[in-house]
Chains A and B, each alone.
Chain A
Amino acid sequence: MMMKKLMSLGLASLMVLSLAGGSMVGAEEADYEECTIKFSWWGGDSRHEATQKAVAAFMEKYPGINVEVNFGAWSDWESARALEFQSGTASDVNQINLSWINEFDYNGDVFLDLNEVSDIIDLSQWDQTNLDMMKDVNGGQAGIPVSMTGRIFYWDKTTFEEAGIEVPTSLAELREAGHTFQEVLGDDYYPLALGEFDRTIFMTFYLQAKYGKAIISDGALNFTEEELLDGLTFIQSLEEDHVIPSIVTIDGDAAASLDQNPKFINGQYAGILEWDSAPMKYKNALAEGRELVVGEEFTDLGENGSTGVFTKVSLGLAISATSQHPKEAAMLIQYLLNDEEGAAILASERGIPESKAAYAVVEAAGGIEPMIGEAHSKVMAASEYAEDPIFESNDLKGSEGVYRDVFSGICYGDYDLEYGAELLFDGITDACEG
């Protein structure tokens, strides 16, 4: 009888426990609810493969959490996500750009304050300075920086060898390379190719190195129209020294991007100024037998060895404020960015991890692509400024933005340098004033 009672009690307890749990599942780290969450990101094929693999491993580790994925190329990705954020239909976990916090989260109510789930996501793995970059207007932690990035030169070493010179390590050598290329290889060969935004960045390096101040800080433009004119004149001088082709020449190539431009693929454009996280697509695009190498940040742009280099959050992960399962979404982020297993799978697919835990795992496993690692360490060593999100706001950087208008306008002969400087000054000032 006693035995029967004990069994009944045991069974009843078991039933109560399972009912009380409902769809709750026990896990090592935390209890969680059986649910479906969505995760969206943009990127290339290798990022897609690694992330899908990591998501599959996450679902295996936490049975009951189903993760639906939505991924694609960058083209028009931003517009589609913007509409989702606006309509409250965004994914639970989103890969975001730093500028999205300013552009899509005006009231601080689009992205969840991740401090609310800091018992799940170990925020102590990030430097506070970097976390602060992704705060919203209310001071909430809108996102977590996955990695930091900055621009650095990459050179097609083979073309420089054909010209009989070493890859440049300074502005002076770069200017000299321009003349050598023209004399030895011909008019169609340039040591560097810069699109409109690349020009903006190189001009910013130059201005910041020369004048010792950030172009934009605390939402304000720190340069006068005359100083911006100096920057435009600098870029124009590179064209005159046969260092860079005109925008008109690049447009005439009719390539969708530089890595798809036959002139880059075959070494006629022998250098680029790119993000430290993005060299692989250029390296892989080069024709057989050609070698892409990481360059140096120039220290002769100003007068005191300053590089003028700035870095920014390359991308972040955020949880939508509308998410019905913020806890499980936070678990996914924790897994991808801090968990030993998740970090090892993602490796450096989103740049060199900023999370200390992830970095240790990836580095120990040799998961950092050597070229990316070299570029990243050089950029971080040379970095002097943090990019203000306004610098990449849509009004400035967009397809109809000020940067493109000014630099292409000068190249096509629509604007002189003075008018270009005026437009640049007014445009950045307007963007700063919102």
Chain B
Amino acid sequence: MKKWAKNNVGFFFIIPWLIGFLVFKLYPFGSSLIYSFTDFHLFKGISTTGIMNYLDVFQKPKNLEALKLTFKYAFMTVPLKLVISLFIAYILNFKLKGVNFFRTAYYIPSILGGSVAISVLWRALFKDDGLIQQMIRMLGGNPPSFMTDPNWALFIICLLRVWQFGSTMVIFLAALKNVPEDLYEAASIDGARKWKQFFSITVPLITPVIFYNLITQLVQAFQEFNGPFIITNGGPRGKTTLMSILIYNAAFKSYDMGLASAMAWVLFIILVFFTAISFWSQKHWVYYADED
């Protein structure tokens, strides 16, 4: 009995998490799949079942547009964010004066997240006659209307996400610190320049971390909600309405839980697909030291 208790005491400790997981994750996960095949309305209940919600997702122009925008958003922000955070991490890995201050300063935007303060800041920067427009005019340019031009509106939403590169930067920084110094020394002796060292030593050795950041950022980008919700609320004319906003509106504005569930499942399948592709591709470009 004692031995049994000793072997299973771990389960006791994870009971709170387990309950939370079952109630708030697994149950909604399973029930949303069922609801996605119904016309479940929060107040009217269920009257029909079938695949009509999935047909809606792929047939209604509004839903297709949101899907397209979500892809566009993800494929713009993820590479940009990875490149910029790696670049900044690389610079902050040098022994510079006041480097700790810069590391903190660059990390701060990440912890601000999608807050009201950020939405006020972003609007003040990009509104008509805002700071950015004024600066462009001072330089003699003719600025676009960032908030009402569909392409620019999406761009400023992407910019917010890219600006918040602190967490990926910190992970890159940790990885860069683990690259053995002697490799750089040997390369220097052989006459390799900094950029050659970066692409031939640094990048290959941190590919597991690049892969990790790629997966997490991809998942986050496809699920992005806060940025477009607080800054443009999906506008202008739905041109920043990503799938997550559409799901939210369907569920909590129109109370159409069936459609919202179907959209969430489509998004989930897209994420599974890209994650699977990424995992499949890693054998071609990710270097694990223990594999040799």
Contacts and interface: CB of A to CB of B under 8 A. Distances in A.
A269 to B, nearest CB: 13
B231 to A, nearest CB: 8
B237 A412 contact: yes
Interface stretch (A55-63, A131-139, A164-172, A250-258): A250-258
A399 B236 contact: no
Name B's interface SS.
loop
A398 B252 contact: no
A74 interface: no
B249 interface: yes
A76 B126 CA distance: 25
A106 interface: yes
Interface in A394-426: 394-395, 398-400, 408-409, 412, 414
Contacts of A412: 148, 236-237
A254 B233 contact: no
Interface string A383-400: 000000000001100111
B235 A398 contact: no
A398 B147 contact: no
A249 B145 CA distance: 9
Nearest to B231: A254
A82 B252 contact: yes
B172 to A, nearest CB: 33
B236 A254 contact: no
Contacts of B130: 254
A106 B43 contact: yes
A86 B253 contact: no
B56 interface: no
B3 interface: no
B258 interface: no
Nearest to B130: A254
Contacts of A252: 127-128, 145, 147-148
B128 A253 contact: yes
Contacts, number: 66
B123 interface: yes
B255 interface: yes
A394 B253 contact: yes
Contacts of A85: 43
A129 interface: no
A254 B126 contact: yes
Nearest to A412: B237
Contacts of A400: 62, 238, 249, 253-254
Nearest to A105: B43
Contacts of A254: 123-124, 126-128, 130, 147
Contacts of B126: 254
Contacts of B249: 398-400
Contacts of B254: 394-395, 398, 400
- List 7 tightest A-B contacts by C-beta distance, closest first: A254-B127, A252-B128, A254-B123, A79-B252, A254-B147, A252-B148, A251-B148
Given A104-B43, A255-B127, A412-B148, 19 more contacts: A82-B43, A82-B255, A86-B42, A106-B44, A251-B236, A252-B127, A252-B147, A254-B124, A254-B127, A394-B255, A398-B253, A399-B233, A399-B234, A400-B238, A400-B253, A400-B254, A408-B236, A409-B237, A412-B237
